[in-house]
Chain A
Amino acid sequence: MMWQPTANWDALKQRAVLIAKIRHFFAERNIVEVETPVLSHATVTDPFVVGIPAIFKAMGGSDEKIMYLQTSPEYAMKRLLAHGSGPIYQMSKAFRQGEISKIHNPEFTMLEWYRPGFDHHMLMDEMDLLLQCILQTKPAERMTYENIFRDYLNLDPHHATIKDLKRCAHEKDIHLNEELTSRDAWLDVLWTHYIEPRVAIERPLFLYDFPASQASLAKVRAEDPPVASRFEVYFKGVELANGFHELQNSIEQAERFAKDLAYRQQHHLPAIQMDQRLLAALNQGLPDCAGVALGVDRLIMLALDSKQISDVVSFTFANA
């Protein structure tokens, strides 16, 4: 039985230094550090992000209540913003059901921050400074989702049909065991199998303005085609962060949740309750803001030029 840590002590000391550097970065900018619950009554409706349930029982009681370990502190932080907090950040544990690989640990450290008055471009500027500070990188490259698909695959991601996407995958020698029925799943496959390994090698890449179908909690701009004010950050084959110019409209948010729930039902995924507290906060009014969540273990992994999370966390899921 292995009781020893998976990372060596030197890496854990360097980790501590980097964490202090991150906190300093936010202190310098007067962004307030907050703590929100890790254990929550509600969880996300996303079909592909799953919270880990935890059972609560009141002392002496017999009723069992299913709670969830948070998948990110997003909803709680938005409730603070709606209550008038101003700029805030949090570095805390987040949990994702089932996600294990060299660069996935079901329990991980997430850095999330929100900037009232920022759009996704301003937040990308700030995040780039953080990356330069922690990773000593050159200024990041920026490309729209559309342009990168056009450049690497000669494909228009907003209009390509499933047939186009399938043919493109075939041309690039990507073989799937079964046909995919969702355009977004095909786009993900082309991105992860073909484009991602070819980009962000020398410096980080900010990929922005996603198809509206992948808006998640970002504002969608009514352009032609409509695009989501969302960005993701990649470096050396690692997805580091995901940010939004945040959706403020509570009715639209409830509609997106409902769409997720319909998808869940159709695909026989467990039913989830919408987080009514978040919707109530949005209804009260979320300030115009941008927010981003960054995987800290992955950031440290890149800073230490490591290839797997186990090199930079004390104990991985396997020997937790």
Chain B
Amino acid sequence: MAVYTTNEIRGGMKVMIDNDPCVILENEMVKPGKGQAFNRIKYRNLKTGRVVERTYKSGDSIPTADVVDVEAQFLYNDGTDSHFMTNETFEQYVIGDAGLGEAKQWLKEQSECVLTLFNGVPLAVLAPNFVTLKIVETDPGVRGDTSGGGGKPAKLETGAVVRVPLFVQEGEIIKVDTRTGTYVSRAKE
């Protein structure tokens, strides 16, 4: 099995830790002047989403994980599972709601997204950084108010709720940053 040693490990690498696929976030060498060298490695477990830190002796190795990210399109939800198709190979994948995680609230049919496959099985879905979605429900704002202060909740077509400025109305299309879940601007269809 292929391995990375502690000095090769960089952010973004996919490794197996305790039989789970994980992505490396940080790797810092710690070396007291006279003491032994260690590597403090921070990683996210791709199955649970948990961020963990573990200390390795410098020179230890960690097996690589067969994890790849592929671009895909969200096809539809059949009531229990979501169906995706990869852009390059047109292969279809099915994920239950639990595996969908955060991405669920940003994806509508035909949305582009990234599928993380572990040993060929979908593990996670990542929504694009920005999505444009229609507001299906929000209180009418006060006319003339164009400031960003305050704001009001707005429900989007995917079910997500974001805060929008008072001047934004029901039926409008807005651009949202999915990493922070915040309103960016009004958008055209």
Name A's B-contacting residues (CB within 8 A): 46-49, 98-102, 104, 174-178, 182, 184-185, 188-189, 191-193, 214, 216, 232, 239, 242
The answer to whether A101 and B31 touch (CB under 8 A), given A48-B37, A192-B38, is yes
B55 engages A99 (CB within 8 Å):
no
Tell which of A100, A175, A191, A242 touches B55, judged by Cβ atoms closer than 8 Å.
A175
Chain B residues near A99: list those with CB within 8 A.
29, 31, 37
Are A193 and B40 in contact, CB atoms less than 8 angstroms apart? yes
Query: Residue of A at shortest CB range from B35?
Result: A188
**Chain A positions within 8 Å of B167 at CB level:** none
**A184 contacts which of B33, B35, B54, B55 (Cβ < 8 Å)?**
B35
Measured CB to CB, the residues of B under 8 A from A are: 7, 28-38, 40, 52-58, 60
Subset of 8 A-B contacts with CB under 8 Å: A98-B7, A100-B29, A101-B28, A101-B31, A175-B54, A175-B55, A176-B54, A185-B36
| A167–chain B nearest beta-carbon distance, Å | 16
- Chain B residues near A49 (CB-CB < 8 A): 33-34
Query: Of B28, B29, B30, B55, which contacts A176 at CB under 8 A?
Result: B55
Measured between alpha carbons, how far is A47 from B29 in the docked complex, in Å? 17
Q: Across the interface, do A188 and B32 meet the contact criterion of CB distance under 8 Å? A: yes
A108, chain B: closest CB distance, angstroms: 11
A269 to chain B, nearest CB (A): 11
CA distance in complex: A191, B32 (Å)? 9
Asked whether B29 lies within 8 Å of A239 as measured between CB atoms, the reply is: no
- Cα of A46 to Cα of B31 in the assembled complex, Å: 14
Instruction: Give which listed residue, B30, B34, B36, contacts A216 with CB less than 8 A.
Output: B34
Q: Is the CB of A185 within 8 A of B54?
A: no
Contacts of B52 in A (CB 8 A): 175
| 8 shortest interchain CB distances as A-B pairs | A188-B35, A101-B29, A177-B56, A175-B54, A192-B30, A176-B55, A48-B36, A242-B33
A residues less than 8 Å from B55 (CB atoms) = 174-177, 189, 193
Minimum CB–CB distance for A54 against chain B, Å = 22
Chain B residue at minimum C-beta to C-beta distance from A44:
B34
Contact B60 A48 (CB under 8 A): no
Q: Measured between alpha carbons, how far is A178 from B60 in the docked complex, in Å?
A: 10
**B38, A189: Cβ atoms under 8 Å?**
yes
Known: A101-B29, A175-B53, A189-B55. A242 touches B60 (CB 8 A): no
A182 to B60: give the CA distance in the assembly, Å. Answer: 17
- Contact A185–B35 (Cβ < 8 Å): yes
Chain A residues with CB under 8 Å of B53's CB are 175
Query: What residues on B are CB-neighbors of A193 within 8 Å?
Result: 30, 40, 55
Query: Bound complex: CA of A174 vs CA of B56, how far in Å?
Result: 11
Nearest B residue (CB) for A101: B29
A160 to chain B, nearest CB (A): 17
Q: Is the CB of A46 within 8 A of B34?
A: yes
Which A residue sits closest to B28, measured CB to CB?
A101
Told that A48-B37, A99-B31, A102-B28 touch, could you supply 16 new A-B pairs with CB distance under 8 A? A98-B58, A99-B29, A100-B29, A101-B28, A104-B29, A175-B52, A175-B53, A177-B54, A177-B55, A177-B60, A188-B32, A189-B55, A191-B32, A193-B30, A193-B55, A239-B32
Docked complex Cα distance between A46 and B57 (Å) = 17
